[in-house]
Chain A
Amino acid sequence: MLTAITRAFRTPDLRNKLLFTLGIIVLFRLGSVLPTPGVNTVNVQQCLKEAQAGDAANIYGMVQLFSGGALLKLSVFALGIMPYITSSIILQLLTVVIPRLEALKKEGQSGTAKITQYTRYLTIGLAVLQSTAFVALARTGQLFPNCRQPLLVNNDVFTVVTMVVVMTAGTSVIMWLGELVTDRGVGNGMSILIFTQVIAVFPSELLNIFRQNAFTFVIVMLVGVFMIAAVVFVEQAQRRVPVQYAKRMVGRRMYGGTSTYIPLKVNQAGIIPVIFASSLLYLPQLLVSLFGNSENPGPIVQWLAQNFVRGDHPVYMVTFFVLIIFFTYFYVSITFNPVEVADNMKKYGGFIPGIRPGRPTAEYLNYVLMRLTAPGSLYLGLISMVPIIALVVAGASQNFPFGGTSILIMVGVGLDTVKQIESQLQQRNYEGFLK
């Protein structure tokens, strides 16, 4: 284990990638701590301390989790990676609905680039909306209802506009950082950044629990380790569909004749459905925080405030569960295309024993995938539910740091990243071995 790490740092190529990723993480955290111009840092810190210690702590839990603690600090990267994720979900959903986007997607590389461009525009739009909302909240002092100190240095229009512009710019920088990690670093940029956000709030929450009750702390840690193991177990489970390749002569050489398999994971979708579902459910909270404090909130906002703000409300839980199952199927269907896989196999002379190449193969793959995704989606839903249910049963209302979502994100990204490092390491070492 330790030798693997030293070896990883000894290979220059991999070392550069790792250091690059770490550098991006440092930059990301710097932006999450750096206050936006116009913010009274001392007052914000004080209010933050009061809010975290007070009863309102669990209301802020979700907000904190999804911004890596940056939002309440009113920092440059206050919005975190959420706008980018939300807009990529919206575009992926729209691809199914709008024929023009579907045509673009089928176009291949240039079309995908176009869709990415739209995603970025939408991100900026969302960022402007969200930052305006939060700056407005901060200005009127509703961000911390119990704290009566002015959060801004002054309340004129210029300051507010500056803050909105800075936060929006911060969001686009985050977007760029994420893409840089995907290009030149280790792992998927978006996942790495959301991983950083999730683990950034961990120490303070754990510390909170430890201060309240050391016994609970031990139990929480045990449950956490158990859940990590459970997630690893399911993530590693594969259904191996056997594929036999026909032998063929090309010139004087013999090719193929090997038998391999197509690995279909039980949870082929990974952690994306959970991220999608929770960021979608984050929208009502946003709406409530925007309009909920006005004198006369509309019936819709009131209903949302009653049912969707607290994570342990039945309506919220059911919606969350259904959304996860929906997104799992949705994401599997857009990432794994059985027809394409079957076509490729046919082209290279491969077949699944007992099933004809071409259409029947595609149908068979689809059959297996749909059957596997059912337990996969249930697993995702259940893991995300477990902590909430446990909280309700135990009657403990404090924020559970091992929320299913954060566990899934942590383990999913952790596994992916470690595997990617390992495969690159192997590549390197085999190369050195052969020379």
Chain B
Amino acid sequence: MEQTEKQLIALAKGGNSAAYCELASQYRDQLFRFLWLRCGQRADAEDAVQEALLSAWRYINSYDERWQFSTWLYRIALRKLPDKRPIMTEVDNVGTPDDDIEQYLERANLWRAARTTLKPEALTALWLYYGEGASHREIAHALSRSLAWVKVNLMRSRNRLATVLGEKTG
């Protein structure tokens, strides 16, 4: 019988690592996309995914169930992300083309523009809202920001993107 997320969390909190792995596998790709968009390099994102999931296992008992499990994972993952590669700089030629998110985003021009235009935290908020369908409240919690900050930054990001697209097409 397939277990619900709540059951898996309860089992994981009780020390059941198999239940935790099942739970983690449901969020692994989502977490990866979030991190890859933010840092740009697959290897960095993969490392951060692994470290975040391991860290979440260690501190699973501190997970507060008032929030989405994914939100809690985002909070942890952001701390695991290396800040060594600013997203607005040109990407070097290390790795295969698939390792670089810019290649992947050829079919997603708007997100490509977002990556080069917005600050990392604003990009993250935009992705969580439009890419993952997270609520303002969950985004605020994931980024340790206020609700007002999220709303204002989403509005600014949309305006900024509209301006950039207008400049390109106009």
- Do A and B associate with each other? no
B: residues with CB less than 8 A from A are none
